[in-house]
Structure 1
Amino acid sequence: MTTPEWTPSSWRQFPAKQQAPYPDEKALKQAHDKLKTLPGLVSVREIEDLKTQLADVADGKRFLLQGGDCAERFQDCQPALIEKKLKIMIQMSLVLIWGARMPTVRVARMAGQFAKPRSSDTEMLDGERVTSFRGENINGYEKDQRTPDPNRLLEGYFHSAATLNYGRVLVSSGFADIHDAGGREVLQRGTDFLWIGDRTRQLDHAHIEYFRGIENPIGIKVGPSMAVDDLVPLIRKLWKDPEANPGKITLITRYGCDKVSDLLPKHIAAVKAAGLKVIWSCDPCHGNTIVAENGYKTRPFDRIFGELEQTLEIHREAGSALGGVHFELTGENVTECIGGPQGIDEGDLPLRYTSYCDPRLNYSQSMEVAFLLAKNLSVHHELAPLNEKSKNRKRSMDISDPSKRLRAEK
């Protein structure tokens, strides 16, 4: 069966999961029409720069660090909070530079993390069943704000633009020149890096149809529900020319500490057998979420780092390499994940639990995991073949570039 020609709107002919139930279709169309007239949030040059750096990650010359909030809030678009988010990413990356013995590529979960997929369309709030909170791009967190409002899509755009512009000022990256990509290449300019979650990766659905035609770097979340036989066909559908576009696909594994040793080797073997040179990244947060006895969602620090440790060792034994990490974190002193250097326990969770969605590593926990990861990367570097160690030793001298660039994503 031949694949139909792709266009930027061909996804509309496919089933689409995780769609908000907007009551006013006319208002939704007006919001969409307005968004079409607004400039892209990132430039073509920024996307192309990231593609080049991710090709280096795929080739083992750089290490990928992704991190940020599970769900951003409009109210957090303010200088002090943006500075904290960028600060923790920069500090973590500097630690990882010396552990990985190579430059880092930083990709922030910010300036667009305003919409979230949910496992149910409704939830209980104050004893009443209401529409699930899907992020402030869709509806509000308070009970009387749960009706999806298309005007929030425009609010999300302008908050993203403000965050991006302030972030660019902070890291002194400047504004890239806007130019036409030319040819048939289509870039999604609302962000430079996108990823597909576990709930929206059906081959015959709208999300994959849209993603298969854009040239941006793409991440794929790989968890326990990903059948081994499904992974390679999914990669191939999204990656038209692996030889010409190295580093386009990042597989972000998120199994959970108890499942990684069983599942990751099978997925690595399938990808290696297909001859695909992907970037392997580890998200040790999502698979280790639990509900505490007091009802708070949390993540144990020891399970988070436990999954990271196992992932590193599994890649080494398989002749593969962990190319990056992906965290939900904040630069604030919240109490959302238990354990870590401060010894946070379940009784501490109500003290400073501010997340609108999933629990995040706080500043101290984020730095601790960076130091522990750097130590483990250093050990694995010493276990690498001699010729590879020699190459990496030369690469480790070039650390100026990664400290001057911070990526923004949705």
Structure 2
Amino acid sequence: MSLNTSRLYEAAGQAEASEETIAGLDAWRSLEPLQQPTYQDAEELAGVLDRLREVPPLIFAGEADRLRDHIAQASRGEAFVLAGGDCAESFASASADAIRRRVQTVLQMAVVLTYGGSLPVAKIGRMAGQFAKPRSSDMETRDGVTLPSYRGDIVNDHEFTPEARRHDPNRLLDAYHVSSSTLNLIRAFTTGGFADLRLVHEWNRGFLGSNPNYHRYEQLAREIDRALKFMDACGADFDAIGSVQFFSAHEALLLEYERALTRIDSRTGDPYDVSGHFLWIGERTRQLDSAHVDFLSRVKNPIGVKLGPTATADDALALADKLDPEGEPGRLTFITRMGAEVIRERLPKLLGDIGDRLPQVTWVCDPMHGNTITSNTGYKTRRFEDVMGEVAGFFDAHYDAGTIPGGLHIELTGDDVTEVLGGASEIDEEGLRRRYETLVDPRLNHDQSLEMAFQVAEYLTDRQKTQH
């Protein structure tokens, strides 16, 4: 370990924890956690976990606290949360160019939302940790051959062979190292000048200039340029726009990994999961008595819970009581994922039944997972119109209920893939064949992500008009 890394680790803090705290962090082990890998060599797993317990943290507790403050602002309508990135990161896709394009896409969306909605945007990447995916079946069969399902690069490989599909604990260490290098690059991009708002035009380079959304973005960039030149003429200090805060998030699915990367903060004595700033619990593992809910109830990171169309007010209230008993703004985010066909029925009922009992919770829309279909050509896909239909239903339900639509949580890539139908580029079912690259779920491409940002900015503008 280098001297600089040692100092960072010391500053991040490993304080002494009480026996009660340690026992609590391990209570999930008695709850039969769902969606966990099946490792054949217990000794090999133990060795990997011992090494993970000794590695430096990926994030610092103070950074997680800052994100919690931003999310708290969003719960009051004073900010907006934008979380975006791959459905499932792969080790092979962690190249500098791929990471830059994903960061670039989130930054561009955030600029559109900030300028259109006159709100600060908390920028979160589904990056540097989103390597595990829950699966509906433990096994997969192809041409009469049955093997374990692909559960993400942190567990096994996508290649359909017995060796590739073996649940390999060494991949936990690989995930840590890829996450570390990804975060290093993200920090370099966002603090080293790349994210300077005065370079807003540069973020559009390398993308297809013929698309109408890019022209629309360039027009907005010119307006920002004019505003910055006016501020410069007035003697404004531009230090604040030279860098941005960019946070990491992933589903806290593999509990052995999350537990091994939990540290005791030297400032407070509280446990933080230092694998990412923001962690969420999926729809499949959010049961009140689940191991995932128990574990995340004991760490101090800001956390989220996915709520599908069957979620009730009783579910939401019980989860809030378990995960956020002190009612701390910014601590708990509910991420609704209901589907375009049912959100206008289910979400208003959920909000109405909850009433004013959860004012501290931030509500965020995941318009992706409830709208997955299979195309006639055999591709797992989504329709952009359905995705935006759910977003519109999310905003309308909150405006009607008098609650705050606090953010978006979306699967996207900075590449010009063809995985989601429709949008301004009018990808059709045959078009899916051109660049269908995802290993798990279909993602919005760069153009579709910008198109979404412009539409959501209009929703935010409409809200401000009604408020005034």
TM-score normalised per structure 2: 0.78
Structure-1 residue corresponding to 2:448: 365
Structure-2 residue corresponding to 1:67: 84
Amino acid at match of 2:177: F
* Contact in 1 for aligned 2:114/2:121 (Cα 8 Å): yes
Amino acid at match of 1:233: A
Amino acid at match of 1:63: F
Deviation at 1:184, TM superposition (A): 4.0
Amino acid at match of 1:333: D
Of 182, 192, 198, 2:283 maps to 198
Deviations 1:242-296 (A, max 9, x none): 1xx2111111111000010111012212333424421011011110110111111
Distance in 2, matches of 1:13 and 1:363, equals 43
Structure-1 residue corresponding to 2:105: 88
Distance in 2, matches of 1:368 and 1:115, equals 28
**3-state SS of 2:310 partner:** coil
Q: 1:182 to 1:13 in 2, by over 3 A?
A: farther
Distance in 2, matches of 1:133 and 1:44, equals 32
Of 9, 16, 28, 2:45 maps to 28
The answer to whether structure 1 residue 56 and structure 2 residue 141 are counterparts is no
Structure-1 residue corresponding to 2:377: 294
* Contact in 2 for aligned 1:232/1:270 (Cα 8 Å): no
Structure-1 residue corresponding to 2:29: 12
Distance in 2, matches of 1:305 and 1:340, equals 10
Of 61, 73, 77, 2:94 maps to 77
Distance in 1, matches of 2:157 and 2:34, equals 20
The answer to whether structure 1 residue 330 and structure 2 residue 349 are counterparts is no
Amino acid at match of 2:168: D
Structure-1 residue corresponding to 2:295: 210
* Stretch moving more, 9-18 or 159-168: 9-18
Distance in 1, matches of 2:27 and 2:296, equals 11
Structure-2 residue corresponding to 1:161: 180
Structure-2 residue corresponding to 1:42: 59
Deviation at 1:301, TM superposition (A): 0.4
Of 166, 171, 179, 1:147 maps to 166
Structure-2 residue corresponding to 1:262: 345
The answer to whether structure 1 residue 170 and structure 2 residue 207 are counterparts is no
Amino acid at match of 2:324: W
Q: 1:103 to 1:183 in 2, by over 3 A?
A: closer
* Contact in 1 for aligned 2:313/2:351 (Cα 8 Å): no
Q: 1:327 to 1:231 in 2, by over 3 A?
A: same
* Contact in 2 for aligned 1:55/1:248 (Cα 8 Å): yes
Structure 1: gaps (5+ residues): 387-410
The answer to whether structure 1 residue 107 and structure 2 residue 124 are counterparts is yes
Deviations 1:19-63 (A, max 9, x none): 111111111111111101111100122111111111111121110
* Contact in 1 for aligned 2:75/2:329 (Cα 8 Å): yes
Deviation at 1:154, TM superposition (A): 0.4
**3-state SS of 2:409 partner:** strand
Return the structure number with greater relative CO, CA threshold 8 A, min gap 6.
1
* Contact in 1 for aligned 2:421/2:429 (Cα 8 Å): yes
Q: Size of the alignment, in residue pairs?
A: 379
Distance in 1, matches of 2:84 and 2:50, equals 32
Structure-1 residue corresponding to 2:462: 379
Q: 1:235 to 1:180 in 2, by over 3 A?
A: closer
Distance in 1, matches of 2:131 and 2:387, equals 24
Aligned-pair identity (%): 40
**3-state SS of 2:405 partner:** coil
Distance in 2, matches of 1:92 and 1:101, equals 13
Structure-2 residue corresponding to 1:119: 136
* Contact in 2 for aligned 1:99/1:376 (Cα 8 Å): no
Structure-2 residue corresponding to 1:389: none
- RMSD over aligned CA atoms reads 1.9
* Contact in 2 for aligned 1:168/1:174 (Cα 8 Å): no
Of 319, 333, 336, 1:234 maps to 319
* Contact in 1 for aligned 2:131/2:154 (Cα 8 Å): yes
Deviation at 1:152, TM superposition (A): 0.5
* Contact in 2 for aligned 1:71/1:113 (Cα 8 Å): yes
Amino acid at match of 2:113: L
Distance in 2, matches of 1:364 and 1:356, equals 20
Deviation at 1:180, TM superposition (A): 3.9
Distance in 1, matches of 2:244 and 2:310, equals 41
Structure 2: gaps (5+ residues): 1-19, 192-242, 246-262
* Contact in 1 for aligned 2:265/2:272 (Cα 8 Å): no
Distance in 2, matches of 1:343 and 1:297, equals 17
Structure-2 residue corresponding to 1:224: 309
* Contact in 1 for aligned 2:85/2:102 (Cα 8 Å): yes
* Contact in 2 for aligned 1:44/1:181 (Cα 8 Å): no
TM-score normalised per structure 1: 0.89
Deviation at 1:72, TM superposition (A): 0.5
**3-state SS of 1:130 partner:** strand
Q: 1:168 to 1:143 in 2, by over 3 A?
A: same
